[in-house]
Amino acid sequence: MRIDDLLLDEFDLEEWRATKKLCTSGKPNSALGASALASCKSQGYRKRSGRKSHKIGNKRVKVGGKKIRGAKYGGPLPHYGSGSVKKSKRKSKKKR
C-alpha cells in the first residue's frame, strides 16, 4: 500500500502527523523521513537539534537538545511556516 492510496486530498496531507509510537520508538533520527522527524519534534516527542534560539515568554532560550512543543500542538514555540506561498498569493504579489 502506498501513501497515495491513504492520503487522498491536500487536506489529508496538511493534517498528517507522525504517530506517538513512531516518534517514541528507538529508531534514530536518520532512519525517519524528514516530514516525520519534523512532526515528532513539533509534537514534543523528540529533542530538537541545532543552536536556534526563540523568545519564550520574556526570555530568549536555545531550544537545541530540548523537547519543546510547537505552537500547532499547544507549545510555546512560534510558528513561522514553511515559507511556501500559495498560488493565489503569488498572483497578487506580481500585480503590485
Give domain limits for the chain. 3-89
Residue 80: the pLDDT is 73
Q: Are 54 and 78 in contact (CB under 8 A)?
A: yes
- pLDDT score at 35: 87
This prediction's pTM:
0.66
Is residue 37 within 8 Å of residue 29, measured between CB atoms? yes
pLDDT at 55: 86
Distance CA 64, CA 46 (A): 11
pLDDT by residue for the chain (96 residues), tens only, comes to 565 666 566 555 556 778 999 999 999 999 988 889 999 999 999 999 988 888 888 899 898 999 999 888 899 888 776 666 665 555 555 555
In contact, 70 and 77? CB cutoff 8 Å: yes
Which positions ≥6 away from 77 have C-beta within 8 Å? 54, 56, 63, 68, 69, 70, 71
The pLDDT score that the predictor gives to residue 71 is: 87
Q: What pLDDT does residue 96 have? A: 56
Q: How far is Cα 32 from Cα 40, in angstroms, rounded to an integer?
A: 10
